[in-house]
Amino acid sequence: MLLEDAFTLFKRLGVDVRSISAREFTAAYFALAKRYHPDRGDQKTHDLMASINAARAEIIRRHRMR
């Protein structure tokens, strides 16, 4: 996943990654995971949760490269 795509996905889900701290990003991720996790009863969110995880991994990877 490209970094810009990761930012776009989080922005669509209501999280502007560019304007929050690392702690706020982690909290936002866990809120999204709680809301969209397939184990919460909606198997349709499996692909969305996979995309959220991929986006988070890319953002963290790029942040560590700085």
Measured distance between the N- and C-terminal CA atoms of the chain, rounded to whole angstroms = 18
pLDDT band at 64 (very low <50, low <70, confident <90, very high): confident
pLDDT, tens only, 14-52:
999 999 999 999 999 999 999 998 888 777 789 999 999
The domain segmentation of the chain, as residue ranges, is: 3-65
Those residues whose C-beta lies under 8 Å from the C-beta of residue 51, and which sit 6 or more positions away, are 1, 9
Please give the class, per CATH, of domain 3-65: mainly alpha
- Would the pLDDT of 66 be above 70? no
**According to the model, what pLDDT value does residue 8 have?**
96
SS3 string, the chain, reads CCHHHHHHHHHHCCCCHHHCCHHHHHHHHHHHHHHHCHHHCCHHHHHHHHHHHHHHHHHHHHHHHC
**According to the model, what pLDDT value does residue 44 have?**
79
